């Protein structure tokens, strides 16, 4: 039996939203590490963002449901810890979507580049942790709005 | 493989017990941001626990899951150091305890990334990123409060005086450690002391706090010889549901 190409599977996975930040996909997030066919059986390798991320179970269910909606049910998910997830794996598409959503994307220097609301450069950190382990709380002193920063790890 | 099982219990029980302690702050922290930060720290530690105890159950080979090990053992089977089971006290004491543990944990995980056991090295690689973030935060808070007002300084010094006698246990060695060193799985805890002292000394000096002179160390947690009375109370809360409704799932 012919099965969809891995490219096709990647495209389908790119339609599965992150449960906590639904404007980006699981592929954008960089946690899907590999997709491989073993005959008619599909192996998908996933790495956790943070070891304590409460969304992990939800993410696994969403992957299986997303693939099942395209008729793929013979699927095994593998957890891979090493190499550990890094924000370098966020896609450019995902970073742009984060900023449009009001979350400053991770920046190489370790602090947000600009306010996602007004583009202001005068920023201060409110707290090292935000609403989820992957975000920190910042504030823009130009427009005075608070915002989440997707922190670098 | 019993030594490896014991070693993994020590790693997992440390993060489990401290993770539970820190989660007790949820809804009670001095300000909202700290509440969120502590809850997130607790989550990371519980996540690390799932990895350590998950592997412990696998190594033991009796079909026990991380949940079984967390919820169905009693105090005498726990292998965490005494430091992490001590009560939260005030916010300053909680952050001092966190800093002392984070400083040890980040040092230990850094070494474990070189472990001869790939499963251990992989967990350490994952956890060390989180631990680095934790120690940065707890260290900053210790400095902010230590070098803060007269009141906050006094509380932080009192916290350090109370907690310091529990630091030494983290660097104790026994037969389990010797077996782990022999197998190249884990470093001798005593060998972490220099790096720990350097980091802790620097932060506490910046915090204008004085390390107590007495070398006395309470011990008995990591060997399971004798825990403090506090652990039983913690477990009574943490394990209540599985004890009252065995096997309950949702
Ligand atoms: Zn702004």
Q: Could you say which DSSP state residue A16 is in?
A: S
Do residues A21 and A54 share a domain?
A: yes
Q: pTM score, two decimals?
A: 0.91
Long-range contacts of A21-26, Cβ-Cβ distance < 8 Å, separation of 24 or more: A21/A98, A21/A101, A21/A103, A23/A97, A23/A98, A23/A100, A23/A101, A24/A90, A24/A94, A24/A97, A24/A98, A25/A94, A26/A59, A26/A62, A26/A63
pLDDT at B153: 98
Do residues A49 and A13 share a domain?
A: yes
Q: Could you say which of B40, B118, B129 has the minimum Cβ distance to residue A84?
A: B129
Judge whether residue A1 has pLDDT over 60: no
Q: How many domains does chain A have?
A: 2
CATH number where A72 lies: 3.30.300.130
Do residues A83 and A106 share a domain?
A: no
Query: A44-53 pLDDT, tens per residue?
Result: 999 988 887 7
Do residues A112 and A145 share a domain?
A: yes
Question: Does the distance separating the beta carbons of A126 and B126 come in below 8 Å?
Answer: no
Residues in chain B closer than 8 A to A130 (CB atoms): 36
Q: How far is the CA of A23 from the centre of ligand 1 (A)?
A: 21
Q: How confident is the model at residue A4 (pLDDT cuts 50, 70, 90)?
A: very high
HSE-CB at B107 with a 13 A cutoff on CA atoms is 22
- Interatomic CA distance for residues B24 and A1, integer angstroms: 54
- Give me the tens of pLDDT residue by residue for chain B, a chain 250 residues long: 699 999 999 999 999 999 999 999 999 998 888 898 999 999 999 999 999 999 999 999 999 999 999 999 999 999 999 999 999 999 999 999 999 999 999 999 999 999 999 999 999 999 999 999 999 999 999 999 999 999 999 999 999 999 999 999 999 999 999 999 999 999 999 999 999 999 999 999 999 999 999 889 999 999 999 999 999 999 999 999 999 999 888 7
- Please name the residue of chain B whose CA is at the shortest distance from the CA of residue A52: B47
Residue A95 belongs to a domain: no
pLDDT at B247: 87
Do residues A113 and A73 share a domain?
A: no
Residue A15 belongs to a domain: yes
Residue A93 belongs to a domain: no
Residue A97 belongs to a domain: no
Question: Does the distance separating the beta carbons of B40 and A132 come in below 8 Å?
Answer: yes
Residues in chain A closer than 8 A to B143 (CB atoms): none
Query: Distance from B217 to chain A by nearest Cα, in Å?
Result: 32
Do residues A14 and A81 share a domain?
A: yes
Residues in chain A closer than 8 A to B33 (CB atoms): 126-127, 129, 137
Residues in chain A closer than 8 A to B36 (CB atoms): 127, 129-131, 137
Query: Distance from B137 to chain A by nearest Cα, in Å?
Result: 7
- Interatomic CA distance for residues A21 and A102, integer angstroms: 11
Do residues A73 and A119 share a domain?
A: no
CB pairs under 8 A between A and B: 68
The arithmetic mean of pLDDT across residues A92-117, rounded, is 93
Query: Distance from B68 to chain A by nearest Cα, in Å?
Result: 18
B150-163 helix and B91-112 helix, angle to the nearest 10 degrees:
50
Query: Distance from B169 to chain A by nearest Cα, in Å?
Result: 26
Residue A23 belongs to a domain: yes
Chain B residues within 8 A (CB-CB) of chain A?
33-34, 36-37, 40-48, 50-51, 118, 121-123, 125-127, 129-130, 133, 136-137
Residue A128 belongs to a domain: yes
Do residues A124 and A76 share a domain?
A: no
Backbone angles phi, psi at B136, to 5 degrees: -65, -45
Residue span of the structural domain in which A38 resides: 6-87
CATH code for residues B2-244: 1.20.1260.10
Q: How far is the CA of A120 from the centre of ligand 1 (A)?
A: 5
Question: Does the distance separating the beta carbons of B43 and A54 come in below 8 Å?
Answer: yes
Q: How far is the CA of A144 from the centre of ligand 1 (A)?
A: 6
The arithmetic mean of pLDDT across residues A57-84, rounded, is 94
Query: What would the two tokens of residue A105 be?
Result: 């994307």
Who contacts B134 (Cβ-Cβ below 8 Å, separation ≥6)?
B41, B44, B98, B102, B105, B106
- Interatomic CA distance for residues B93 and B154, integer angstroms: 11
Residues in chain B closer than 8 A to A129 (CB atoms): 33, 36-37, 40-41, 137
Residues in chain B closer than 8 A to A54 (CB atoms): 43
pLDDT at B1: 63
């Amino acid at each position: 039996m012919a099965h969809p190409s891995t490219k096709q599977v990647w495209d389908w996975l790119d339609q599965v939203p992150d449960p906590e930040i639904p404007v980006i996909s699981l592929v954008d997030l960089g946690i899907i590490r590999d997709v491989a066919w073993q005959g008619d059986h599909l192996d998908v390798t996933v790495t956790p963002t943070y070891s304590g991320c409460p969304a992990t179970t939800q993410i696994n269910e969403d992957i299986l449901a997303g693939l099942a909606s395209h008729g793929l049910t013979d699927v095994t998910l593998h957890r891979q810890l090493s190499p550990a997830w890094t924000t370098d794996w966020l896609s450019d598409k995902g970073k742009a979507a984060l900023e449009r959503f009001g979350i400053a994307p991770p920046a190489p220097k370790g602090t947000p580049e600009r306010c996602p609301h007004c583009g202001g450069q005068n920023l201060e950190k409110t707290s090292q942790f935000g609403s989820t382990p992957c975000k920190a709380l910042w504030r823009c002193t130009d427009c005075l709005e608070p915002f989440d920063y997707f922190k670098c790890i | 493989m019993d030594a490896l099982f014991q070693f993994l219990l020590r790693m997992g029980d440390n993060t489990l017990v401290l993770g539970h302690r820190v989660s007790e702050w949820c809804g009670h922290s001095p300000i909202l941001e700290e509440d969120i930060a502590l809850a997130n720290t607790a989550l990371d530690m519980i996540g690390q626990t799932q990895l350590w105890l998950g592997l412990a159950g696998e190594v033991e080979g009796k079909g026990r899951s991380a949940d079984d090990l967390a919820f169905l053992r009693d105090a005498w089977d726990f292998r965490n150091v005494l430091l992490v089971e001590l009560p939260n006290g005030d916010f300053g004491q909680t952050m001092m305890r966190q800093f002392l543990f984070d400083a040890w944990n980040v040092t230990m995980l850094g070494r474990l990334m070189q472990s001869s056991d790939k499963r251990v090295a992989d967990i350490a690689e994952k956890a060390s990123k989180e631990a680095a973030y934790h120690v940065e935060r707890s260290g900053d808070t210790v400095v902010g409060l230590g070098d803060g007002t007269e009141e906050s300084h006094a509380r932080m010094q009192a916290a350090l005086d109370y907690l310091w006698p529990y630091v030494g246990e983290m660097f104790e060695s026994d037969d389990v450690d010797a077996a782990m060193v022999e197998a190249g799985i884990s470093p001798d805890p005593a060998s972490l002391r220099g790096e720990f002292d350097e980091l802790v000394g620097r932060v506490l000096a910046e915090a204008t706090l004085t390390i107590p002179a007495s070398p006395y160390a309470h011990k008995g947690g990591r060997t399971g010889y004798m825990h403090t009375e506090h652990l039983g109370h913690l477990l009574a809360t943490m394990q209540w549901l599985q004890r009252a409704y065995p096997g309950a799932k949702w």
